[in-house]
């Protein structure tokens, strides 16, 4: 039998950390790519010992090891979209920025992972400056959460108007489009995101899902944006679709562990494979 091989499959790359608990990081990204029928490639930056209660330990890879992974993929398999997640330190960020700058026709989704929603700092202080100066200017879109947007803009964010002001400040750093995520907001703007592309701003809302199990929402959203870009969507459509996917995954989140469980990436298959 001749294999029905497919050479036209869209390909995306995630440059991120490993989450041993499987809810965020590389694990969430590759699962999200797979559920979009996008072939996922990866460059690991660090290994976290993490579960639903928090991060116990982080071990970094060398910048050279990170670059070698990106180059191995780019020079052979090819990629049309990349997302960056937890880059951990200044050296890794600078190396990633230098490497992806050389790649042509690449759409770049920067999730500036600095602080998890549970308040854990995931990147050191010097790294914030390097992110601001080297990687954000290359971003097709940058997707800070409330706390990351506060750090990047220097502004406090308590409402939609302040999300709007922060998005404008971050746009000045050189990103093409800024999406300030509202998962960390409260009341009727919890889960409302603010899009600013340098000309227009827009609030993006699906529905607020009432669940404590939100681990990995940011990783999943940025990976889904990259997947949709790899599939050929325009940026605004890619973000809209990604938000729909994320909302469904949140509605099917997993109440596992003793803390904040992860979103349920495989909701499209749940009914098919659920045990009786
Ligand atoms: N309870 C919720 N209901 C609906 N959407 C939500 C909810 N919580 C988060 N979101 C959405 O999830 C996406 C990620 O936003 P969030 O602010 O949670 O990012 P984050 O803090 O980077 O995520 P993470 O928890 O992975 O760190 C955004 O589109 C946000 O609006
Ligand atoms: C490896 C890794 N990357 C990203 C996050 C952020 O995700 P969250 O804020 O949901 O914890 C994380 N916790 N771990």
In this structure, the dihedral spanned by the alpha carbons of residues 266, 215, 137 and 73, taken in order and rounded to 10 degrees, is -50
Contact 78, 119 (CB under 8 A): no
- 251 given a catalytic annotation: no
Residue 121 above 80 pLDDT?
no
> What ligand is nearest to the CA atom of residue 205?
1
Q: CATH for 11-266? A: 3.40.1190.20
Is 0.95 topped by the overall pTM? yes
CA of 184 to the centre of ligand 1 (A): 7
Provide the token pair at 137. Answer: 């200017």
Residue 117 above 80 pLDDT?
no
- The complex scores an ipTM of 0.96
Residue 42, beta-bridge partner list: 14
- 177 given a catalytic annotation: no
In this predicted model, what pLDDT tens digit does every residue of 206-263 receive, in sequence order?
999 999 999 999 999 999 999 999 999 999 999 999 999 999 999 999 999 999 999 9
**Residue 124 — pLDDT band, cuts 50, 70, 90?**
confident
Q: Which of 45, 52, 38 is nearest to 87 (CA)?
A: 45
Given the residues 22, 143, 191, 219, select the one marked as catalytic.
219
Answer whether 144 contacts ligand 2 (Cβ < 6 A): no
For the chain, the straight-line distance linking the first and the last C-alpha, in angstroms and rounded, comes to 35
CA of 183 to the centre of ligand 1 (A): 4
Given the residues 99, 214, 220, 247, select the one marked as catalytic.
214
**Residue 4 — pLDDT band, cuts 50, 70, 90?**
confident
Determine the Cα–Cα distance for residues 131 and 137; give it in Å rounded to an integer. Answer: 9
């Amino acid at each position: 039998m001749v294999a029905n091989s497919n050479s036209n499959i869209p390909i995306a790359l995630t440059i991120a950390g490993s989450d041993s608990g499987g809810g965020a990081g590389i694990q969430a990204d590759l699962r999200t790519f797979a559920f979009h029928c996008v072939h996922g490639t990866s460059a690991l930056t660090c290994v976290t010992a993490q579960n639903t209660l928090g991060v116990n330990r982080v071990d970094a890879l060398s910048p050279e090891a990170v670059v070698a992974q990106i180059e191995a993929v780019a020079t052979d398999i090819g990629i049309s979209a990349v997302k960056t997640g937890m880059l951990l330190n200044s050296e890794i960020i600078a190396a990633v920025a230098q490497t992806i700058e050389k790649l042509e026709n690449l759409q770049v989704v920067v999730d500036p992972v600095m602080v998890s929603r549970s308040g854990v700092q995931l990147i050191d202080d010097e790294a914030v400056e390097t992110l601001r100066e080297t990687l954000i200017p290359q971003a097709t879109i940058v997707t800070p959460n409330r706390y990351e947007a506060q750090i990047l803009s220097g502004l406090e964010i308590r409402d939609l108007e302040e999300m709007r002001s922060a998005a404008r400040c971050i746009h000045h750093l050189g990103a093409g489009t800024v999406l300030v995520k509202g998962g960390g907001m409260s009341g009727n703007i919890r889960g409302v995101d603010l899009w600013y592309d340098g000309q227009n701003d827009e609030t993006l809302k699906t529905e607020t899902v009432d669940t404590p199990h939100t681990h990995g929402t940011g990783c999943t959203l940025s990976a889904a944006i990259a997947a949709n870009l790899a599939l050929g969507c325009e940026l605004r459509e890619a973000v809209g679709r990604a938000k729909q996917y994320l909302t469904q995954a949140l509605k099917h989140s997993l109440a596992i562990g003793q803390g904040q469980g992860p979103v349920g990436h495989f909701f499209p298959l749940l009914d098919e494979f659920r045990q009786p």
